[in-house]
Amino acid sequence: MTPPQAAAARSSVAQCGRLSLRHRIIFIAVTVLVAAAVAYRGSSAGRNAPASLSGVGMTAAPSRAPDRSPAFSSSWITPVGHTESAHSCSVCLLPGGDLLAVWFGGTREGAADVALFTSRLVAGSAAWSAPVRVVDRESAQRELGRSIRKVGNAVIFPDGQGNVGMVYVTVTFGGWSGSALNYKVSRDAGQTWGPSRRLGINPLFNLSSLVRNQPIRASDGRIGLPIYHEMARTFPQLLWLTPAADGDLSQYLVRSLPGSQHLIQPSLVPLENGRVLMVLRDHGSAGRMQSAFSDDRGWTWSPAVSGDLPNPDAAVDAIRVSDGRLVLVYNDSTRGRENLRLAVSSDAGRTWRPGPVVEDEAKQEFSYPCLVEDARGRIHLTYTWKRQRIKHVEFNLAWLDQQMREGQSASP
């Protein structure tokens, strides 16, 4: 401040001094009144642990008795040459029985031409629909009203209000640690999508929030979406979304897993009696898949511990299937993503028994798996195939049990 300004400021400060007793009382009264009104408006509804959970995008109760004869098939979600690179597919079961998949594709991961695509597998059909471009850098920039450099991982899920929600990653500056999350909704089961909305997750410039796996759903309608933080310190978080009837979000909040480090891409499995299992990608040096448990429907979590299964710093996914067992898909290696294997747990995720190998080819990548079970008891697995295409594998529990008994590879 220059001398004349400083002098002016000094004289006016001398006038303002400290608040008079009268003004103190008035301000305190106004504060109390405003706080009461604001606190009443922002009541604690939706800010406590959910009373109970229901499945969302995870397990659908079979509408009929599961097949007794083994069934296994595979198909492609992305046509040949659709994009040079395709990665990070997420798939969900829509209320009508269709499967809807979303992934990102372009010349390479992180390139400016990368876009999000969706494809649909109509219930009873064998072929996926042609990919539909739903978000790209330009549309995200336009809808979010800010600079967008690239788009990344996306997850889609029914929001329980008859709509389909999508949470996806965008980056304005830097790499993936500079990412932020955005929400958009489809009111016609994924045919068309509404505008995007930025989600405020992080206090430091709202940077470094990413998403990978399917959410759980509380019986009060809230959706618990597993997300993770990647800047300086990597740790999992749960984003609790409260969808409104009009498809927008009426509220959301984030809960971090305290004390956890080097753990990303959490996958949630709702179990009995409000217990939830979280399996995690090990982003550190342990080389082991990590697990944590919640006994209050995903609100608070135990510290994560290493399990027996290896993890080469790669995404895993798990679901609870109709007979109560858990099915996991993972890379059976401490380094590299050259194979993809299933494992089964009959004790709610405490131990895992390795099962059939779905893919195995040296110097190739099979990664970012996603599991969902449909109403017929068929388990659908989607994953990145050699970074070129998105593959879909469908099997039933009879096939899985047969493979577990015989210890065979699933690949033809």
Q: Interface with another protein by CB under 8 A: which range of 16-24, 263-271, 285-293, 387-395?
A: 16-24
φ and ψ at residue 314, rounded to 5 degrees: -140, 150
The string of DSSP letters for 48-93 reads S--S-EE-SSSB---SSPPPSS--EEEEESSPTTS-SEEEEEEEEE
**In the set 69, 204, 272, 363, which binds another protein (CB under 8 A)?**
204
Q: Residues 290, 310: contact at Cβ < 8 Å?
A: no
**Nearest alpha carbon to residue 72 among 345, 392, 407:** 392
Residue placing its CB nearer to another protein in the complex, 22 or 363: 22
CA dist 39 and 194 (Å) reads: 31
Of 36-55, binders to another protein (CB under 8 A) are 37-39, 41-44, 47
Binding mask 169-188 for another protein (x = CB under 8 A): ---xx---------------
CA dist 208 and 234 (Å) reads: 9
Assess 22 for contact with another protein (CB under 8 A).
no
CB 222 to another protein: min, Å: 13
Assess 197 for contact with another protein (CB under 8 A).
yes
Name, in order, each residue with C-beta under 8 angstroms of 397's C-beta and a sequence gap of 6 or more: 66, 321, 322, 323, 325, 377, 379
Of 205-224, binders to another protein (CB under 8 A) are 205-206
CB 193 to another protein: min, Å: 18
CB 145 to another protein: min, Å: 5
Q: Residues 276, 270: contact at Cβ < 8 Å?
A: yes
Q: Residues 228, 264: contact at Cβ < 8 Å?
A: yes
Residue placing its CB nearer to another protein in the complex, 85 or 209: 209
Residue placing its CB nearer to another protein in the complex, 79 or 200: 200
Of 236-255, binders to another protein (CB under 8 A) are 251-255
Assess 28 for contact with another protein (CB under 8 A).
yes
**Sequence letter at residue 267:** S
Kindly state the number of chain residues that form the binding site for another protein, as judged by CB under 8 A: 57
Name, in order, each residue with C-beta under 8 angstroms of 26's C-beta and a sequence gap of 6 or more: none
Contacting positions for another protein (CB under 8 A): 1-2, 4-5, 8-9, 12-13, 15-20, 24, 27-28, 30-32, 34-35, 37-39, 41-44, 47, 141, 145-147, 172-173, 197-198, 200, 202-206, 229, 231-233, 251-256, 258-259, 261
